[in-house]
Amino acid sequence: MSNLFPPPDPVRVARPAPPAGDDSVLAAFAASVGFAAVSGAAAGLLWGGIGGRVGMRVVFLTSNEHVSGLTSRDGFEIGRFSAATISLLISMTILGGIAGIAVGILRMVTSGPTWAVATGTSLATASFVGSSIVHTDGVDFRLLDPLWLTIGLFVLLPGLWGATVVVGTERLLASRHATDLPALVDCRYWGATGWILLVGATAIGIRDLVADIATLT
């Protein structure tokens, strides 16, 4: 008879959240933050550093040749590789790791499967961070063409970063076999907190992006 009712797959069973104040909650936060910082740094190097430099090269190639040699608002000489590229790689790695800490905290108070949390985080970082990258002054978004490609690339890259951090953190936690730690804070009180923050960041980002696009066009 026991074969007719096999035990449930432990991976698919939600881990019960311990009572508030339990040391395991603090340990879970520490693990989530630590692994998210590592994932954030790696994703920052990949999408912010390498991806950002490739993106700048792409929009240079699609733009008028007269933009070559001009200096962007961030201090890069358009169309040329320089020591600033190394600085970009290092700064994006550091910033990615710091921002990853926020994602590590956020995922602990966001209920839902990994794909849903990754999607929500991706949309929030794409719009919120993307709106901070897109600006109406300087030459970057005024002279580089086409505008939709320039904006699209630099909104897409932070979105890819956000999704990569969430998925990377989950993979690292699984590899450490941290099954004795809670997956998130008690859903009855905190499960929706992350979604409220993600929706809010997405709404603010979209509002600012729309305003910038209207100004640029």
Residue 10 lies in a domain: no
What's the residue count for the chain?
217
CA distances to 26, 36, 45, 46, 53 from 157, in Å: 32, 18, 11, 10, 11
Q: Provide the domain count of the chain.
A: 1
Asked whether the bond before 146 is cis by omega within 30 degrees of 0, the reply is yes
Q: Say what the pTM is.
A: 0.79
Beta-bridge partner residues of 91: none
Contacts of 212-216 with CB under 8 Å at 24 or more apart are 212/131, 212/134, 212/135, 212/136, 212/141, 213/134, 213/147, 213/151, 215/136, 216/136, 216/141, 216/142, 216/147
pLDDT digits (tens, 9 = 90+) for 16-25: 444 444 567 7
Residue at 193: amino acid letter: T
Phi, psi (degrees; rounded to nearest 5) at 110: -125, 110
Residue 190 lies in a domain: yes
Residue 30 lies in a domain: yes
Residue 154 lies in a domain: yes
Q: Is the pLDDT of residue 198 over 70?
A: yes
Residue 168 lies in a domain: yes
SS3 (DSSP) at 77:
strand
pLDDT tier, 78 (very low <50, low <70, confident <90, very high otherwise) = low
Contact 195, 136 (CB under 8 A): no
Residue 1 lies in a domain: no
pLDDT digits (tens, 9 = 90+) for 146-162: 888 888 999 999 999 99
Q: Between these two residues, 116 and 179, which has the higher pLDDT value?
A: 116
Q: Is the pLDDT of residue 69 over 60?
A: no
Domain range for 141 is 21-216
Per-residue pLDDT, 53? 85
Residue 2 lies in a domain: no
Tokens of 121: 């985080």
